[in-house]
């Protein structure tokens, strides 16, 4: 089976070589819509030329049937787009066969070629942006099976099987490290959004104490690991601001993490909050290695770090304080660093506009809804990460649901036709048919009209969420999905 990654164009043909499917990337690269390409010969839609042979046309079909045990590949090629422009691509193709080995069609997969020197030179300035997005996506994928395995351990423990104390201790360690890794990845994703100008804040009137509580929850693994004595001092109780609590909480958590990183284990870290005129002023103070004067500004630069942490390590991506500065500035505030010098500790001072409108946070909160009645659902999980698919299927099975796991879009459609699931959890970057196209085709089936579709993916930007909803998904969850978020989706289906 061939697999694709984000950015791959996919074209499928029938046995006669006529196009039956094109994904959105294929449309973009060829300059032809799927509707315009439907039922046309592959050579017309996917027009390859050999520049060394005077732009002679290259037909990809003749070599494909012979690739009985895998993909046929020509490597770098030149693709003529519909508007006459050229794009260098890497291309491979494979036959699709019936059980009796009869050829039923072909699959062609292609993407922009890394060998195109001019293309790489012209897009050099975008490489840092691509780095953030790709690294965050690739790191996020392994978190899904870890999260699911963690929940499985909890369920097994609750059932009384196995060594409860040992399982519980292992679960606490895994959960602490998982939270820390998730926070790092969230920072990477946010930095990617900022670099691409697509970052969005969701501001509302928020209590500073709620923001600090979030920060403490995010930073707790680091603080507990080094046994810091945390001192929190608020000069006033009613400190409100217009803020995106989640992102501002991450920013303060980064300041706490930074204080811990550059301080000895067991030393105190202080967080103070007060007002100066119409501003809220928050200080994070440590007794660590301090900051030399020439680094006061540079510590906020991307990859800028003081030379050595207190324990001799130099961990992290060097983006934490850059993230802090950008988030604070997006909230209309400032952040500065201060220190008396080497060995004298550090102080980070955040100033933010105070909201004195007097309108409290959303007060009209409805009464808590009663627990949803237990109900057994038919659930289909589709993810080309087999560990992610199977651990999630195991977790849902332990909760009483009937679950099937598959690993690409084509398998998802076939399983759905046989199984008629009520809930479908789809990864987006699957081979052959991506999650968007799989969702569209599911909705055309009788059972699909009643199914609840959830995009479960490592791509978590607001634009990704909107694209998923436009494709027909009812929900968009980012890997690793919090168990509470998935449970909320299931409860809604049960309630309906």
Ranges of H-type helices in 198-319: 208-225, 245-261
Neighbours of 464 (CB within 10 A): 17
DSSP codes joined into one string, 37-59: HTTSBHHHHSEEEEGGGTSEEE-
* pTM listed for this prediction: 0.49
- Determine the Cα–Cα distance for residues 393 and 404; give it in Å rounded to an integer: 7
Tell me: the pLDDT tens digits for 78-103?
Answer: 899 988 888 888 777 777 776 666 77
Is a pLDDT exceeding 80 seen at residue 446?
yes
Number of helices (H), then strands (E), belonging to the chain: the values are: 15, 19
For the chain, what are the domain ranges? 9-122, 132-195, 205-353, 378-495
Tell me: the pLDDT tens digits for 157-185?
Answer: 655 555 555 556 556 656 666 776 776 67
Which CATH code is given to the segment(s) 205-353? Answer: 3.30.565.10
Topology agreement, domain 9-122 and domain 205-353: no
Question: What pLDDT was estimated at residue 426?
Answer: 95
> Do residues 200 and 462 make contact, with C-beta atoms less than 8 angstroms apart?
yes
Question: What pLDDT was estimated at residue 465?
Answer: 84
What mean pLDDT is predicted for residues 106-127? Answer: 57
Which CATH code is given to the segment(s) 378-495? Answer: 3.40.50.2300
Question: What pLDDT was estimated at residue 111?
Answer: 80
Report the topology of domain 9-122: Beta-Lactamase (3.30.450)
Is a pLDDT exceeding 80 seen at residue 467?
yes
């Amino acid at each position: 089976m061939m697999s694709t990654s984000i950015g791959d164009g996919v074209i499928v043909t029938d046995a006669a070589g006529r196009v039956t499917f094109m994904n959105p990337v294929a449309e973009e690269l060829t300059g032809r819509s799927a509707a315009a390409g439907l039922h046309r010969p592959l050579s017309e839609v996917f027009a390859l030329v050999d520049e060394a042979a005077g732009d002679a046309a290259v037909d990809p079909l003749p070599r494909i049937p012979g690739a009985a045990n895998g993909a046929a590949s020509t490597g770098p090629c030149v693709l003529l787009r519909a508007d006459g422009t050229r794009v260098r691509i890497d291309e491979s193709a494979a036959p699709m066969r019936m059980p009796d080995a009869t050829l039923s069609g072909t699959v062609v997969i292609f993407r922009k070629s890394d060998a195109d020197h001019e293309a790489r030179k012209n897009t050099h300035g975008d490489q840092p942006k691509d780095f953030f997005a790709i690294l965050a996506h690739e790191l996020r994928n392994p978190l899904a099976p870890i999260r699911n395995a963690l929940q499985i351990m909890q369920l097994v423990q609750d059932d009384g099987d196995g060594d409860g104390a040992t399982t519980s201790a292992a679960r606490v360690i895994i959960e602490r490290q998982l939270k820390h890794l998730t926070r790092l990845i969230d920072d990477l994703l946010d930095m990617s959004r900022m670099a691409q100008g697509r970052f969005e804040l969701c501001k509302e009137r928020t209590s500073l104490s709620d923001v600090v509580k979030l920060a403490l929850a995010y930073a707790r693994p680091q603080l507990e690991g080094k046994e810091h004595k945390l001192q929190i001092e608020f000069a006033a109780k009613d400190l409100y601001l217009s803020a995106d609590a989640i992102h501002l909480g991450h920013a303060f958590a980064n300041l706490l993490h930074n204080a811990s990183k550059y301080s000895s284990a067991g030393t105190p870290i202080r967080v103070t909050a007060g007002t100066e005129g119409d501003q809220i002023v928050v200080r994070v103070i440590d007794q660590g290695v301090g900051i030399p004067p020439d680094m006061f500004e540079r510590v906020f630069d991307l990859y800028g770090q003081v030379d050595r942490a207190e324990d001799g390590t130099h961990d992290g991506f060097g983006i934490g304080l850059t993230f802090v500065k950008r988030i604070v500035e997006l909230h209309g505030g400032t952040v500065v660093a201060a220190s008396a010098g080497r060995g004298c500790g550090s102080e980070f001072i955040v100033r933010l506009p105070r909201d004195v409108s007097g309108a409290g946070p959303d007060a009209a909160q409805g009464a808590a809804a009663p627990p949803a009645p237990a109900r057994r659902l038919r659930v289909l999980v589709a993810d080309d990460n087999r560990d992610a698919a199977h651990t999630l299927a195991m977790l849902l099975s332990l909760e009483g649901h009937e679950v099937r796991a598959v690993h690409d879009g084509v398998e998802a459609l076939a399983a759905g036709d046989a199984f008629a699931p009520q809930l479908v959890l789809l990864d987006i970057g699957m081979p052959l048919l991506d999650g968007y196209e799989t969702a569209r085709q599911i909705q055309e089936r009788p059972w699909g009209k009643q199914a609840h579709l959830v995009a479960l993916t490592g791509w978590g930007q607001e634009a990704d969420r909107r694209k998923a909803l436009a494709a027909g998904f009812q929900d968009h969850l980012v890997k690793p999905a919090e168990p509470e978020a998935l449970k909320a989706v299931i409860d809604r289906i049960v309630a309906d």
